[in-house]
């Protein structure tokens, strides 16, 4: 895939730290450079952000928030976006495909007056629920129709955009990736567990991660297959989860935050990765080390990662379903090894930062071809 022959602008409400490797990789492929316009999250969101990048340029926005992002009526005004656009003069612009940012509607019109394309990038477009849902659906449809193309996080998201009326031939799918292709060959684990299986969780310890659900599920398993549980990470709910563990599953180990070689050694020793709640940046990293995965069903971004050949998706908050799935996984170590190999190949060949960059370049090439 050819690189992007010009200057690219990219708008984000916030710039999460986990996106830094992707944005820098995309910037390398832009001959005129990449500038990212992004503000700060609300304190309650606890999102680690990147204030600067190695290759891409970061232009700070001032976010003015109305209500909380979880609210259906949330709005975010980004002060400074017109100044950024004037200074950067991008040949193409990628924005969050979200009508709740009124400031972006202005820049879409401004870019189009210059004859330059605007692409949206987003999770999907579920039909709004609750009061004023009809008005909100129409507002979103108007917003989406102003875009030249949409890059969806997942196949499910792409289908939602299609059902919302966006032309299928202008929808591109860049599976949500936070890790590059593996630089190591797949690991060869023993056919059997070493005494007991090791079930691993890695991530920030917040209530929404539902470590409590994992602890209760493991305690409900037959004693003969109850695993070691390793919890890697830190966060505001650590003490709460540790208290539950002492009562429900005393053998669980809270290993704290681990990085680099220490974290790699943990992935290598584990047998199964479990994400019982929402989030999940570590899923791809676990898969890169040949681990099968169990994840809670979410917004569709896991669909392209977790399939029958490498893991299980269970209904969010469903303890009996998690117990049954853990039991199915832990009674058959050989099956887990095959599933771990499938995990490795999925992230190495299909869902990685390099593939994301390829899709973004493909989408940009498509819209530039009819804006020339």
Kindly state the DSSP code that residue 316 receives in the 8-state scheme.
Answer: T
- Between CA 117 and CA 141 the distance in angstroms is 18
- Between CA 5 and CA 32 the distance in angstroms is 7
Task: Provide CATH code, domain 8-179+352-369.
Answer: 3.40.50.2000
Structure tokens at 233: 């990470």
Q: Residue 122: count other Cβ atoms within 10 Å of its Cβ.
A: 18
> Same fold for the domain at 8-179+352-369 and the one at 198-349?
yes
pLDDT digits (tens, 9 = 90+) for 81-108: 999 999 999 999 999 998 888 888 889 9
Indicate the domain borders of the chain.
8-179+352-369, 198-349
**Which CATH topology does 198-349 take?**
Rossmann fold (3.40.50)
Are the C-beta atoms of 151 and 325 separated by less than 8 Å?
no
Q: Residue 24: count other Cβ atoms within 10 Å of its Cβ.
A: 16
**What is the chain's pLDDT, residue by residue, as a tens digit (372 residues)?**
689 999 999 999 999 998 999 999 999 999 999 999 999 998 888 788 888 899 999 999 999 998 877 777 788 999 999 999 999 999 999 999 988 888 888 899 999 999 999 999 998 776 656 666 666 777 787 888 899 999 999 888 999 999 888 999 999 999 888 888 887 888 888 888 888 999 999 988 888 899 999 999 999 999 999 999 999 999 888 999 999 999 999 989 999 988 888 999 999 999 999 999 887 778 888 999 999 999 998 756 677 788 899 999 999 889 999 999 999 999 999 999 999 999 999 999 998 999 999 999 999 999 987 655
Whole-angstrom Cα Rg for the chain: 22
Structural element, H or E, at residue 200: strand 198-202
- Between CA 245 and CA 215 the distance in angstroms is 6
Q: Can you give the pLDDT at residue 299?
A: 58
- Between CA 231 and CA 218 the distance in angstroms is 13
- Between CA 130 and CA 354 the distance in angstroms is 39
- Between CA 160 and CA 298 the distance in angstroms is 15
Q: By C-alpha distance, which of 56, 103, 67, 52 is closest to 82? A: 103
């Amino acid at each position: 895939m050819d690189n992007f022959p010009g200057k690219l602008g990219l708008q984000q409400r916030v710039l999460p730290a986990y996106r830094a490797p992707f944005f820098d990789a995309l910037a390398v492929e832009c001959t005129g450079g990449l500038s990212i316009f992004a503000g700060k999250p609300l304190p309650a969101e606890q999102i680690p952000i990147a204030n600067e990048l190695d290759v891409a340029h970061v232009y700070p926005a001032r976010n003015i928030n109305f209500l909380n992002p979880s609210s259906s009526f949330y709005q975010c005004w980004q002060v400074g976006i017109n100044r950024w656009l004037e200074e950067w003069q991008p040949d193409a612009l990628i924005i969050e495909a979200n009508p709740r940012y009124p400031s972006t509607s202005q820049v879409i019109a401004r870019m189009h007056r210059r004859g330059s394309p605007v692409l949206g990038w987003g999770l999907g477009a579920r039909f709004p629920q609750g009061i004023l849902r009809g008005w909100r659906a129409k507002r979103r449809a108007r917003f989406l129709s102003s875009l030249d193309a949409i890059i969806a996080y997942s196949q499910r998201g792409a289908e939602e955009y299609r059902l919302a009326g966006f032309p299928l031939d202008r929808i591109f799918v860049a599976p949500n990736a936070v890790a590059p292709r593996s630089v190591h060959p797949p690991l060869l684990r023993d056919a059997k567990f070493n005494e007991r299986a090791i079930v691993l969780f890695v991530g920030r310890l917040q209530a929404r991660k539902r470590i409590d659900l994992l602890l209760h599920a493991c305690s409900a398993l037959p004693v003969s297959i109850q695993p070691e549980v390793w919890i890697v990470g830190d966060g505001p709910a650590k003490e709460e989860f540790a208290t539950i563990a002492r009562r429900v599953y005393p053998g669980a180990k809270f290993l704290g935050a681990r990085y680099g070689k220490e974290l790699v050694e943990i992935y290598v020793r584990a047998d199964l990765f479990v994400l019982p709640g929402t989030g999940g940046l570590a899923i791809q990293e676990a898969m890169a080390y040949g681990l099968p995965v169990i994840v809670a069903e979410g917004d569709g971004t896991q669909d392209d990662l977790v399939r029958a050949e490498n893991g299980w998706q269970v209904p969010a908050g469903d303890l009996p379903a998690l117990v049954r799935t853990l039991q199915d996984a832990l009674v058959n170590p050989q099956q887990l090894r095959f599933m771990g190999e499938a995990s490795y190949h999925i992230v190495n060949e299909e869902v990685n930062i390099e593939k994301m960059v390829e899709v973004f370049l493909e989408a940009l090439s498509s819209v530039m071809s009819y804006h020339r």
